[in-house]
Amino acid sequence: MSQDLASRSVERFVVTGGTRLVGEVAVPGAKNSVLKLMAASLLAAGRTTLTAVPDILDVTVMSEVLVGLGAVVERDVGGGRLTIDVPEKPGFSADGELVRRIRASVAVLGPLVARCGEARVALPGGDAIGSRALDIHVNGLAKLGALVDVEGGALVARCSGRLQGASIWLDFPSVGATENLLMAGVLAKGTTVIDNAAQEPEIADLCAMLTAMGGRIDGAGSSTLVIDGVDALSPVEHRTVPDRIVAGTYAIGALMTGGDVMIRHGRAGHLGIVLEKLVQAGAEIDVLDDGFRVVGRDRPRSIDVVTLPYPGFPTDLLPQIIALEAISSGTSLITENVFDSRFVFCRELHKLGADLRTDGHHVIVRPAERLTGARVMSSDVRAGAGLVLAALVAEGETEVTDVYHIDRGYAGFVENMTALGADIRRVSDRAVA
């Protein structure tokens, strides 16, 4: 993943529809976890090692963020191993251009203010501080004793002395805010209680790593986290939890194409409602010791889906499930309750012939006679994956542009899809610099 963002932006995927996905695919560590584990390494001086690290663009960008803070980062891409050597006194100002590339880089805010007493992090993706998610971060850090303000397009948090434990109620179970406050709380003086905390498996993974580093945390995986602050943490080696969103993407692809896919390392327990919905849609699913198998035999049946915080249906699988519903046998209603802009994807799916209509937080999907290849644009990581799945069942050739988004979250996507039988190739519009 050494190519830069500008180089990748001129690449596209060309997909010829009509093939089944058949075979095995291995799921790497989770994008939504590893980036936060990398941020957590800042909490302890010394050498932290992460394993099962996915070969995705976001890991490259986050590595550069950490290097800018004074860490030495070494990466064994083939072995999925990443080592982060954190200095005794890391920097506290994260590079603005890098932070704006990936929203997850705001996760360095909590560790830096807890460890250094000060943190300066650019507003990720140009978000205003009044947005729901960042507002929750700011209010929580303020309760821990930090003074947070916006200066020059960046969030600046300062604390004279040590953060102080506090009781914090989150207005919404924000994953990012839960993670930032959790990482700040482990070094705060006294006890911190986070109520209405996010419960995603990636939160539990972060808790496991922080506990191994010497943190004292109760309630991992529940809506209430109790953190007894400690004076210092130690570096560790930690294996990243498997990526449930990648696993879910391949599972939906197997059903859509009438395929038969064994998803190695996929944890069925992390995809409870997703697999239940796929069974309702007609999938046959067998849970095995090291993953699960998904078989699709007939045209998928229509299902209704509502996205919610975990353990509800994940918003990160919304585009993929809409693609599934576009070829189902009946009308379905999909409701998005987490993000406001997910339905941008629907405009692109419509170009392939999908029959759908958006109305606020809802999209009504009616069965299309057929999908037909066209040129479509990937607007984000999951939208890109959803368009590729739709292209697999569309007649003719589909071009998916802006595929650097897909590279941000799916390791070896073209290679894995090709190994499963898909007719997909990466094309560059000009020589990569």
What is the C-alpha separation between 17 and 394, in angstroms, rounded? 5
What residue type is assigned to position 418 of the chain? Answer: T
> Was 31 annotated as part of a binding site?
yes
Q: Catalytic one among 85, 127, 228, 260?
A: 127
Chain centroid to Cα 223, Å, comes to 20
Distance of CA 49 to the CA centre of its chain: 20
- Residue-level length of the chain: 433
CA-to-CA distance for 410 and 243, rounded, in angstroms?
10
**Rounded distance, CA 118 to CA 291, Å?**
43
Rounded-to-integer distance, Cα 318 and Cα 322, Å: 6
316 annotated as belonging to a binding site for a ligand: yes
Do the beta carbons of residue 114 and residue 163 sit within 8 Å? Answer: yes
The conformation of residue 300, written as its DSSP 8-state character, comes to P
The answer to whether residue 127 is catalytic is: yes
Quote the longest CA-to-CA distance of the chain. Answer: 65
Between CA 161 and CA 85 the distance in angstroms is 25
Is 143 known to sit in a ligand binding site? no
416 annotated ligand binder: no
Binding site for UDP-N-acetyl-alpha-D-glucosamine: what residues are annotated? 103, 316, 338
Binding site for phosphoenolpyruvate: what residues are annotated? 31-32
Binding site: what residues are annotated? 31-32, 103, 316, 338
Q: Which residues are catalytic?
A: 127
